Amino acid sequence: MIASRTHSRWAPARSAAWFALGFIVLRLVYRVLFLGANGSGLVLYSGRPLHLDGPFRFISILGPVTTGGLWNALLDALPFAAGILVIGVLVSLVDVRNALARVATWHLGRGVLTALAIGVSTYPSLVTTWRSMRQVHRLRRERGWLSVLGPLFERTLERSSTLAISMEARGFGRSAHEPELDCSAPLDFSDLSLAHSDRWFLREATASARLGELILLTGSTGSGKSTLLRAIAGLHTHGSREQATGSLSIGGADRFTTSVATSSAFVSFVGQNVRDSFVAATVRDELAFALRMQGMPAPAIEVRLREVVQALRLDELLTRRVEELSAGESVLVALGAALVTRPTLLLLDEPLADLDANQATHVVTLLERLAHTTLMTIVVAEHRTRALSQLGSTRWHLADGRLVAAEACAEACVKPSAEAPVGQPARAESTISALVGPNGSGKTTKLFKMALSDPAGIALVPESLGDFFVRDTVAAECSRSDHTARAAIGTTLKLVRQLIPLDNAVFSTHPRDLSAGQQLALAIAIALAAEPEQLLIDEPTRGLDATARANLVEMLNRVSEYVSVTVASHDAGFIELMNARAQAVNA
Amino acid sequence: MSAVVTSGLPSQQPLPERRPRAIRLERWLVVSASLLAAAAFFWPFFASYAPREAQGLVPIAAIALIPLLAIAVSLTLDRSLRVSRAVALLGVLAAVGSIVRISTVGIAGVETIFIVLILVGRALGARFGFLLGLLTVAVSSVVMGSLGPWTPFQMFAAAWIGAGAGLLPLRRLRGWRELALLASYGLVAAYIFGALMNLWFWPFAVGADTTLSYVAGAAPAENIARFGLYTLLTSTLTWDTVRALTTVVGIAAVGGFVLRALRRVRL
C-alpha cells in the first residue's frame, strides 16, 4: 500500500481530489444538520428546527432542507475545495522529492533541508528494512511485531551516525577557507598504534605511500584492516572507546587534528555498509552530493558525473532511487560518489565482497588505471585476494597487530594458493548443492520462497545475520532458540559447540559482536535446533578470510551428513572449494 | 605530533561556537513565531476585534501567514543544525516518525506520531522535539502526497507537542515514573492537538449560514460555544479519545527501550 503511494506520480493530485470531495460532502452534512440548508427551490425536508439551550443556546439542529440551500452550500464549499486540488496538482507537477534533493544544496537553511531530504529518502529504505526484518524473524518463528521494533530502532540510530560520518566525509559543514593539503605526501605514519575497546589492533606500525601507489591491505578477519582504514579516513575518534598513539598524517597534515570535513576533498573512503551511507534520494544526486557541498557550479558537476558514470558503467542506474539498488550496484554507486571529487587518496574497505566476477574484474582494472594514469593513491582492504592477485601492487599484511610491508611479505602473506583446500583429499562429490548466479539474479528471493513455503521442513540462514538474532547475548539467543524450536533446553548451545570451539566468555557477548565465522556457526545451530530436513544458507562467505572459509567448508561438510545443505553464493572460488553441485539461477 | 588521543568528543571537529546571545535570540524568535502561529490558530475568537471592513480578510491572512511562519522558524533553528550528527539524526527520526504515522493511517483515529515526538522531545530536548515535529509532518505529508492547507498547521501543532515534552519538569525521573509522566502528558497533548486542529479548520469545515458556523463579528463567547460543540461532536469524544489511548499504550509499550537507545546518542 505504501509502495504504490510513493511511486505513482499523480498520487498527490488523486488524494487531493478525494480530500476535496470529502470536504464538500462534509460541508453539505453540516448544513443539513445545523439548519444551514434552507433556501429557495424545492423543499426536500420541512421539519421544525430544534433549539439547544444553556451554553449552546446559539445552536439549532436540523430544520428545513431545500435544493436551493444545498446548491448554495455547494457553491460556498467550492473555493476551498479548489484550493486543496490546486495544491495537490502542483505537488504532482513539481515532484517534491526531487525538488527537495535540489534545494538541500542551498546554503540558506541547509541543515533543515538536508534533514528533510534524508527523512524522505530514508523512509522507503526503512520500510524495506522493516519488511525484511519481519521476514527474517518469521524464519526464527518469532510471531509478534514488537520483537522487531527494538532491533529496528537501534539499527536506525546506528544508520544515523553512519550517515553523519558519510556527510562530513563528503564536505558537509566544510567552511569556505579550508587549508590545502599537500598532494605529494598522500599518506605517512610512524609508530602508529590503534586500539578499540582496550584491544590494540595495530602496534607501532610505520609505513608511507607514494603518489599513484596501489596498496593491497591483507590480513585475517578482525586483524584490524578496517580500523587502520578508518583511522586514515579520520574516523577513528568518532566513537568514545578508541585510542591512538604515534603519528599519522595525510597530505602532510596531522590526521588527528585535521577534521573529516577539511580533508573531504583530499581523501575518499568507501566503507563496508555502503547502503547506510547514502544521503540523497537518487543515484544522480548521491553522486553529485560531495561536489555540491564543495559549491561547484552545475555545468562542472555534469562533466564530473559523466566521467564517473562512464568509468563505472552507471548509465542505467543514474535515475534510479538509491533504495532500489542491489548490494553490488550500491557498491558501484558508492565508489562513484567517492571518485567524483578526484581524491588524492582513495580508501576502500572490502569493495569486492558484494560484486560478481564480472563487476569485480572491471573494478580492479579501473583501480589499476586510476593509480597509473591519475596518480591516485589507493589502499584496498580485501579478502578476495585472488581477484586482486593480478595487480602489481604493494602489499601491507596485518597479523597480530604488526604491519608487514611488501618485501618481507613474500613468505608470510596470503597468496592465492592459500584459498585452495590444503591437504584435503579430493572428494568425489559433496552432498552440498550450490545455487549460483550473478548479483540481482534472484537467489535470495528463491531461497526465501522455499523456506517460507515449508517452515517446518526447510530452515534458512539469511545473509543479514545481524537481523537474524533477536536477543542481546549469545546465551539468551540459544535459550530463545530452544524455546521457539520447542527443543530440549541446551540443544542450541550443544549444536554451537559441535560446530565451532568457543570459550565461555563468548556466551555473554552480543551476537552482533561475534566474528563473522562465529555468527554463522550460531545462526546455523539455531536453524538446526528445529531439526529441519533441509538447510539453506544465503551468501555465507561475506567477511570471511581464507582460513575462516576453509573452516566453514569443513563445518558445512559435517552438517551435510545430517541434513541436505544448499548454499547460495556468487563466489565461484568458494563453490569450487566446497566441491558442490552447482545449479544456476536465471533472472 | 605524538600524542595519546583518547576521544571524549563525538567528533574531532571543533563544534561551532554558539554564543549565549545567539541562543537567546533564537529562543526569542521561535517563541514570537509560535505566538504569531497561535494567533493564526485562534483567530476565530479574536477576529471580532478587527476593523469591520477587514474581517473578511482575517481567515485568508491566517492561512497565508502560517506557511511563511513555518519557513521562518525552520530557518531560525537551522543555525543549530551545523553538526552533521544532528542533521542525520533528525532526518532519520523524521523518517521513523513518518513510518509510525503512515502505517496507522486509516485505522479509526489511531494516530501514533505523538509516541515518537514525546519520547524524542524528552530525551533530546525541546529544540530537537520542535524540529522533529515540523519535519515529521513534512516528511510524512510528502511521502503520502497529502500536502494541503492543513500541512503547516499540523507542523506547528506537532512541533509544540515535541517541544512541550522537552520542557517537562522532573528531568531526573527514570523508570516507570518517567513513563507515567510522559503518558499523562501524551494524554493531555492528544486532546489539545485535536482541539487545535479543529480550531483553525472549523470556520472552513462548516462554512457559513449554519447555527454551528463561525460568525464573523460575533462576541467571542458565542463563537467559543459554537466551537465547543463542534469539537465535542467531531473529534473530542471519538478520534481524540482513541488517539489519547494509543499514545498512552504506545509510550508504555516502547517508551523504556526507545528512551534508553536515544540517551546513548550524543548530539
Q: Which domains does chain A have, with CATH numbers?
A: 11-169 (no CATH), 187-413 (3.40.50.300), 432-584 (3.40.50.300)
Q: Name residues 210-249 of chain A within 8 A of B (Cβ).
A: 234, 236-240, 242-247, 249
Tell me the percentage of chain B whose pLDDT exceeds 70: 88
Q: What is the pLDDT of residue A411?
A: 42
Q: What is the pLDDT of residue B116?
A: 92
Q: What is the pLDDT of residue A392?
A: 61
Query: How large is the ipTM?
Result: 0.82
Phi, psi of A66, rounded to the nearest 5 degrees? -125, 160
Q: How confident is the model at residue B141 (pLDDT cuts 50, 70, 90)?
A: confident
Are the Cβ atoms of A59 and B211 closer than 8 angstroms? yes
The vertex-A146 CA angle with A141 and A147, nearest 5°, equals 45
Are the Cβ atoms of B1 and A254 closer than 8 angstroms? yes
Size of interface A-B (CB pairs under 8 A): 260
Specify the pTM.
0.77
Average pLDDT over residues B69-86: 84
Query: Which CATH architecture fits B21-263?
Result: Orthogonal Bundle (1.10)
Q: Is A168 on the interface with B (CB under 8 A)?
A: yes
Which element (helix H / strand E) includes B143? helix B126-144
Beta-ladder partners of A403 = A398
Test mutation, B87, B96, B154, B206, chain A, max A CBs within 10 A: B87
Are the Cβ atoms of A116 and B83 closer than 8 angstroms? no
The single residue listed with the C-alpha cell 499540523 is B154
Q: How many residues does chain B have?
A: 267
Please enumerate in sequence order all residues whose Cβ is within 8 A of that of B96, keeping only pairs 6 or more positions apart, or say none: A126, A153, A156, B116
Order across the sheet with A253-254: list the strands: A199-209, A187-196, A242-250, A253-254
Q: What is the pLDDT of residue A305?
A: 94
Residue of A87, A117, A159 lying closest to B149 (CB–CB): A87
Test mutation, B209, B226, B260, chain A, max A CBs within 10 A: B209
Q: Find the closest chain B residue to A92 by CA distance.
A: B145
Are the Cβ atoms of B145 and A5 closer than 8 angstroms? yes
Distance CA A20, CA A13 (A): 10
Q: Tell me the shortest Cα–Cα distance from A116 to chain B, in angstroms.
A: 6
Please enumerate in sequence order all residues whose Cβ is within 8 A of that of A29, keeping only pairs 6 or more positions apart, or say none: none
Q: Return the domain boundaries, chain B.
A: 21-263
Q: Tell me the shortest Cα–Cα distance from A230 to chain B, in angstroms.
A: 14
B215-266 pLDDT, tens digit per residue, is 777 777 788 888 888 888 777 777 788 888 989 999 998 898 889 888 877 6
Q: Tell me the shortest Cα–Cα distance from B180 to chain A, in angstroms.
A: 20
The low-confidence residues of chain A, meaning pLDDT below 50, are 1-6, 408-428, 587
Q: What is the pLDDT of residue B153?
A: 92
SS3 A282: strand
Q: Find the closest chain B residue to A159 by CA distance.
A: B92
Give the Å distances, CA to CA, from A277 to A104, A162, A320. Answer: 17, 6, 16
Which residues on chain B are in Cβ contact (under 8 Å) with A31?
Answer: 207, 209-210
Are the Cβ atoms of A2 and B102 closer than 8 angstroms? yes
Of the candidates A445, A456, A436, the one whose C-alpha atom is nearest the C-alpha of residue A357 is A436
Q: Is A21 on the interface with B (CB under 8 A)?
A: no
Higher pLDDT, A189 or B45: A189
Q: What is the pLDDT of residue A414?
A: 45
pLDDT at B17 over 70: no
For A196, other C-beta atoms within 10 Å of its C-beta total 19
Which residues on chain A are in Cβ contact (under 8 Å) with B253?
Answer: 146
Which residues on chain A are in Cβ contact (under 8 Å) with B212?
Answer: 30, 33-34, 36, 59
Are the Cβ atoms of B78 and A167 closer than 8 angstroms? no
Q: What is the pLDDT of residue A386?
A: 65
Which element (helix H / strand E) includes A494? helix A491-499
